[in-house]
Amino acid sequence: MICKKEIWIYAETESQKIAPSYYELLGKAHELKESLNEAYEIVAVILSDSAEEVSKELRSSAVDRVYCLEHEKLGNYNPEYYAAVLSEFAKKHKPEMLWIAASAIGGELAPSVAALLNTGLAAHCVDILINDKGELVHLVPAFGGKLLTEILVPKTRPIMASVKPGIFREREIACSKEAELVFERAEILDSMESRFKLVEEQEMQSSGLPVEKAEVVLAGGRGIGNTQTWEKLKELAGRLDGAVGYTRSLVDIGLEENELNMIGSSGKSVRPKLYMGFGISGASHHISGIKDSGTIIAVNTDDEADIFDSSDYKIVADCDRILSALLEVL
Ligand SMILES: Cc1cc2nc3c(=O)[nH]c(=O)nc-3n(C[C@H](O)[C@H](O)[C@H](O)COP(=O)(O)OP(=O)(O)OC[C@H]3O[C@@H](n4cnc5c(N)ncnc54)[C@H](O)[C@@H]3O)c2cc1C
């Protein structure tokens, strides 16, 4: 029997459901498979204390196989347990590639697994493709998005990649057959004790529409300056059925508590039909998260603000004035 090479996709779960990022990676894996010379199998890998329920969804998600690694210690995410199990399993089955979404969990898990496997990780890829020489290339922004670098992992295996949720698009994939389900107990955890203990779980609350799914995004930066102006922006977003995003500086000045809807290289990627940025300078860390937007309108008091270079329309004005004017007419 000829064993085909495997592309593994780590299937992250959110509230007992498969995260959308899994389907984004899956779409890219199918696209890549079509351009590879050799035959590959696409495999989903899930870690859980009980994978039975989620394995049903994975089974019909257009993969060849689903590896369900189970252990009672895998009920909640624990960086030591998860990295140990995934790396041990990869050592045993030797996948050619291992892809993990660069979510809050995956962003930690991917480098931990890569270190344990002593292999190369292309972190925060924006594309994965085959070049003219038939090599697997990962495109990764560097220097705050000013450069797009090509990362190749020529020697070590698996070739690992992490991709921020929202970078790849989900695509329709016909599922012709149900995948083979392989359940395995993660025995390595029987004798392993972690230094981490889950003390409390707190759900980060986001009011309104998820910024990564909205067709209209209104984003605020440091130039928003005060609560009244920030409330005006939120009010306008509501009237336009839009979502509210922001820069890191807006969190720094305390107008938002957390980075849940922060847009940019360490936050979310958005691709709305309309993006409006208020009081945002246009640092590449932020711009990398809005570059696929349809129309970009920026409001800034500085005529030479960098954001105008990436905008379709520039408004040189005080953002509070523009927000008030728009609220009057909309
Ligand atoms: C590793 C790393 C990762 C990062 N990741 C992210 C990320 O994911 N997302 C992100 O956003 N940032 C990120 N940052 C921070 C980023 O580099 C910038 O510092 C940040 O985006 C700047 O936010 P800002 O534009 O709101 O603030 P500023 O750069 O301070 O700009 C404020 C702008 O408001 C304008 N302004 C002032 N008053 C008014 C007014 N009344 N009306 C209109 N305009 C006004 C000013 O002219 C100025 O252009 C990251 C930084 C690092 C080092």
AA identity, residue 20: P
Residues 274/294, Cβ–Cβ less than 8 Å: yes
Clarify whether residues 165 and 20 are in a common domain.
yes
Q: Tell me if 207 is assigned to some domain.
A: no
Secondary element (H or E) of residue 23: helix 20-35
- The DSSP annotation for 79-131 comes to HHHHHHHHHHHHHHH--SEEEEE-STTHHHHHHHHHHHHT--EEEEESEEEE-
Clarify whether residues 187 and 220 are in a common domain.
no
First to last CA, the chain: 66
Clarify whether residues 143 and 251 are in a common domain.
no
User: In a mutational test of the pocket of ligand 1, which residue from 251, 280, 307, 320 has the highest number of ligand atoms less than 8 Å from its CB?
Assistant: 280
In short, whether 220's Cβ falls inside 6 Å of ligand 1 is no
Task: Tell me the per-residue pLDDT of 190-241, one tens digit each, with 9 for 90 and over.
Answer: 999 999 999 998 877 666 788 988 999 999 999 999 999 999 999 999 999 9
CA of 108 to the centre of ligand 1 (A): 25
Mean pLDDT of 44-58: 95
Residues 275/219, Cβ–Cβ less than 8 Å: yes
What is the extent of the structural domain holding 80? Answer: 5-191
In short, whether 281's Cβ falls inside 6 Å of ligand 1 is yes
Nearest CA to ligand 1 atom 51: 285
Task: Tell me the per-residue pLDDT of 153-162, one tens digit each, with 9 for 90 and over.
Answer: 999 999 999 9
Clarify whether residues 35 and 142 are in a common domain.
yes
Mean pLDDT of 294-300: 98
Structure-token match 């509210």, residue found: 244
Clarify whether residues 294 and 249 are in a common domain.
yes
What is the three-class DSSP state of 30?
helix
Clarify whether residues 168 and 306 are in a common domain.
no
Clarify whether residues 9 and 154 are in a common domain.
yes
Clarify whether residues 47 and 150 are in a common domain.
yes
Question: How many separate domains does the chain show?
Answer: 2
In short, whether 305's Cβ falls inside 6 Å of ligand 1 is yes
Of the two residues 112 and 260, the one the predictor is more confident about is: 112
In short, whether 232's Cβ falls inside 6 Å of ligand 1 is no
Clarify whether residues 180 and 31 are in a common domain.
yes
Nearest CA to ligand 1 atom 23: 249
CATH number of the domain to which 281 belongs: 3.40.50.1220
Q: Tell me if 201 is assigned to some domain.
A: no
CATH number of the domain to which 160 belongs: 3.40.50.620
Calpha distance 78→189 (Å, rounded): 12
Clarify whether residues 140 and 221 are in a common domain.
no
- Confidence (pLDDT) at 206: 66
Last residue in a domain, options 157, 174, 191? 191
Q: Tell me if 19 is assigned to some domain.
A: yes
Clarify whether residues 183 and 239 are in a common domain.
no
